[in-house]
Amino acid sequence: MVAVAAGAKRRVNREAGMDHLEILPISKAPVRKGEADLRPALVAPTSRGGWALAGWNGSAWFDLNNGRVLDPQIYVALPRLRVGSP
């Protein structure tokens, strides 16, 4: 579980070679207008005030669960999945 303050730039330290998650303003997300990027990201706040798994469709952030368009303020890039033994 990760507890964060909105708008804060923090790192979550994890043990045993895990990745660090960095919370950034949505303006720092590595996406470009006109170029879809469907890699999942964690964004907040959503219209309901919580976090959502989201993707970028080239013009807007959208909730990967229900397809709703989002207007998030912060962005967390999720680490790549590791396959195989450690």
Beta strands in the chain (DSSP E): 11-12, 21-25, 37-44, 52-56, 61-63, 69-70, 74-77
Q: What is the pLDDT of residue 5?
A: 45
Q: What is the pLDDT of residue 84?
A: 67
Taking only the tens place, the pLDDT of each residue in 54-83 is 999 999 999 999 999 999 999 998 876 666
Q: What is the pLDDT of residue 37?
A: 83
Across 35-44, average pLDDT: 88
Q: Label residues 47-75 b or e (16+ Cβ within 10 Å = b).
A: eeeebbebbbeeeebbbeeeeeebebebb
Judged against a pLDDT cut of 70, whether residue 18 lies above it is answered with: no
pLDDT, greater one: 4 or 16: 16
Q: What is the pLDDT of residue 58?
A: 93
Judged against a pLDDT cut of 60, whether residue 11 lies above it is answered with: no
